[in-house]
Amino acid sequence: MSDSDNYVLGQTGQEQERLLLQARILRPFTERYFRAAGIGPGMRVLDVGSGIGDVALLAGDIVGPGGRVIGLDRDATALARARRRADEQGCSSWVSFQTTTIENYSTTKQFDAVVGRYILLYQPDAAATIRELMRFLKPGGIVAFHELVFGLAGTFPPCELWDQIAALVGEVFRRGGAPPDFGHRLGPTFIDAGLPFPTIVAEAVMGGGPGSAVFPWLAATMVNTAPRMRELGLAPPDGIALDHTLSDKLEEAAVALGCQVQGPMQYGAWSRKPV
């Protein structure tokens, strides 16, 4: 959402497809966080870093036709797809999108909530980003973000290939300037932004067994970071190609061992703007 260039996954059609898969996995987590934060029917919600629209569309389902959701992103191509999806889902009258950065966005309207998923880790100064967004928030309004932490757990029994690829993804993010442990930083970030200490919850994405969505999710994330990985001086494990075969190799390796697989930890944090 800022003019920072640390989105290590790129902005391609292939990345949009990965985002669709990711959204299917993460929707239950994000919805729980938003509802627990107090977001409900009839509210006005500002979604930052909307991409192809998944979080804005989720917020639109929560607020309903009596509410309003505006999604912001600097990627016009992604937002074109977000608008088509809003049309297809019949919510375009209350879910809309604007191509802009946070720094350049302006409005005279006040929102009941500001939300985002996997956004703060990409900001050069996440607290400053939240302070900027709070200009558009009513006193007592909700600030709710969904972030993550890589690498807290992996596979049991251990699957070497999964653990290697998961660790490599985390290192690409770290070297690329997007902290892979941002979920741990939410409390201090909210305080530095001038908010009360947030409610914070953490949950794990779990998977394993044939057909589990965690395998194509990790594989697509690794493949889409490959161009940046090479720029950052990193390499995949010996004999592993970063292409469409990676998902099958991850699944075969884990299923052969009967592994229970833990993906990234999901962190939800919310607080309210002081009155």
Q: Is the pLDDT of residue 169 over 90?
A: yes
- Encode pLDDT of 2-61 as tens digits: 445 678 998 899 999 999 999 999 999 999 999 999 999 999 999 999 999 999 999 999
Tell me the percentage of the chain whose pLDDT exceeds 90: 93
Looking at every residue in the chain, the average pLDDT score rounds to 95
pLDDT in tens, 220-231: 999 999 999 999
**pLDDT of res. 6:** 79
b/e code 196-226 from CB counts within 10 Å (16+ = b): eebebebeebebbeeebebbbbbbbbbbbbb
For residue 197, being part of any structural domain is answered with yes
Residue 8 lies in a domain: no
131 within some domain: yes
pLDDT at res. 151: 76
Q: Is residue 95 part of a domain?
A: yes
Q: Which distant-in-sequence residues (6+ apart) come within 8 Å of 68 by Cβ?
A: 44, 45, 94, 95
Q: Is 6 inside any structural domain? A: no
Q: Do the domain assignments include residue 4?
A: no
In this structure, the strands spanning 155-156 and 95-99 are: unpaired
Q: Which domain holds residue 179?
A: 13-272
Number of domains into which the chain is organized: 1
CATH number at residue 73: 3.40.50.150
Structure-token pair, residue 33? 């966080």
> What is the value of pTM for the model shown?
0.95
Nearest Cα to 191, choosing from 133, 126, 146, 142? 126
Tell me the pLDDT tens digit for each residue of 185-227.
Answer: 999 999 999 999 999 999 999 999 999 999 999 999 999 999 9
